[in-house]
């Protein structure tokens, strides 16, 4: 082919104006041939690595090391501040003399019911109260506790009928007769006493307990009344002194829901949950009578018309044991 003359002459000299200061090149780097030579052969560029890439990697590595060093220094300062704060707190405890009674303030260990001992009842905890209950939802637990505590505490119950109730149900009449027939014996007359005034009133399933007529702050729910009585009654029946207090509270809450849920399917689901907790045991507290057995029996008896077909044989056996023991 024919020859073509060069379009641009490389020897052209460009005159740079002198009216402005010169600027150094931005992209400059120092090239050290030894840094990029092969350690085995000693040849430069034997590995084919770009010197610019190696320089960038070195810069990034240096920045990362600086960040790690700053983070380590910051962590050390934080640990030092925590150590100083700990020393200040210990010095305050020493000044306030809080170290000596630490052992005395330790939480007492929980015990099983068999290990609980019968202690004298604190009379300052005993307080008369009023219970408003519906004739359709009879609080059988009051009769159960009256018979269960007959040798330790006299639970004296008097029944009245509110003007809004025209006629008592058959269950309420039988309950009233049973709790009135528990005549005071010579032993009961010498025992500490709680006077309970039971008023049949249209309050639905929300049984109310009133300790102060002036303030009228009711405690709603039969299981909550049981909780109150277990705290001020005989110590061997106080479930909060036992090691399974969380499990007992969950069972009592389920009994509360069993009473106050109006939907039949919800009641059946709660009853199945209680059945799974009971399992094949004789009662929720094992061989001994417990507060859960009383709450469960009372709740099931009140809603038995709607959940009768869902009561399994072991539930019926547990209820029968409670009825035989405490006279429900």
Residue 130 inside a domain? The answer is yes
Residue 166 inside a domain? The answer is yes
The encoded tokens of residue 23 equal: 């600027």
Residue 250 inside a domain? The answer is yes
Residue 32 inside a domain? The answer is no
Domain that holds residue 128: 123-326
Report helix, strand and coil shares of the chain as percent, to nearest 5: 50, 10, 40
Residue 108 inside a domain? The answer is no
Whose CA is closest to 202, among 156, 167, 176? 167
How far, in Å, CA of 189 to CA of 201, rounded? 30
Mean pLDDT check: name the lowest of 228-232, 241-245, 299-303, 321-325: 241-245
Residue 30 inside a domain? The answer is no
For the chain, the domain total comes to: 1
Q: What is the DSSP letter of 37?
A: B
pLDDT of 209 above 80: yes
Task: Give the pLDDT confidence of 56-99 residue by residue, as tens digits.
Answer: 777 777 777 878 888 888 888 898 899 888 888 888 877 665 55
Residue 238: CATH number of its domain: 1.20.1050.130
Whole-prediction pTM value? 0.59
Contacting residues for 283 by C-beta, under 8 A, at least 6 apart: 289, 290, 292, 293, 318, 321, 322
Q: CB neighbours (10 Å) of residue 261? A: 16
How far, in Å, CA of 125 to CA of 236, rounded? 16
**Coil, strand, or helix at residue 197?**
strand
Residue 107 inside a domain? The answer is no
pLDDT of 158 above 50: yes
**Coil, strand, or helix at residue 46?**
coil
For residue 186, the model assigns a pLDDT of 44
Residue 61 inside a domain? The answer is no
């Amino acid at each position: 082919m024919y020859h073509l003359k060069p379009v641009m002459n490389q020897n052209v000299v460009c005159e740079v104006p002198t009216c402005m200061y010169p600027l150094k090149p931005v992209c400059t780097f120092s090239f050290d041939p030894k840094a990029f030579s092969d350690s085995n052969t000693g040849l430069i560029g034997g590995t084919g690595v770009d010197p610019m890439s190696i320089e960038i990697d070195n810069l990034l590595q240096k920045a990362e090391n600086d960040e790690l060093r700053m983070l380590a220094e910051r962590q050390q300062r934080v640990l030092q501040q925590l150590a100083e704060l700990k020393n200040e707190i210990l010095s305050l405890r020493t000044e306030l003399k809080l170290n000596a009674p630490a052992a005395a303030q330790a939480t007492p260990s929980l015990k099983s019911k068999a290990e609980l001992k019968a202690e004298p009842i604190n009379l300052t905890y005993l307080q008369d109260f009023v219970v408003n209950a519906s004739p359709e939802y009879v609080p059988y637990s009051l009769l159960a506790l009256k018979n269960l505590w007959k040798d330790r505490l006299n639970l004296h119950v008097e029944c009245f009928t509110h003007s809004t109730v025209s006629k008592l149900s058959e269950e309420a009449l039988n309950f009233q007769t049973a709790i009135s027939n528990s005549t005071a014996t010579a032993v009961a007359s010498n025992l500490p006493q709680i006077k309970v005034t039971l008023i049949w009133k249209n309050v639905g399933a929300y049984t109310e307990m009133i300790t102060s007529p002036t303030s009228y702050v009711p405690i709603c729910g039969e299981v909550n009344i049981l909780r109150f009585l277990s705290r001020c009654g005989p110590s061997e029946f106080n479930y909060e002194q036992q090691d399974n207090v969380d499990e007992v509270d969950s069972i009592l809450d389920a009994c509360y829901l069993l009473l106050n849920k109006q939907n039949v399917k919800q009641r059946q689901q709660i009853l199945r949950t209680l059945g799974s907790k009971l399992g094949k045991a004789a009662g929720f507290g094992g061989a001994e009578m417990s507060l859960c057995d009383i709450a469960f029996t009372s709740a099931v008896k009140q809603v038995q018309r709607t959940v009768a077909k869902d009561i399994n044989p072991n539930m019926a056996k547990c209820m029968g044991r409670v009825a035989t023991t405490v006279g429900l």
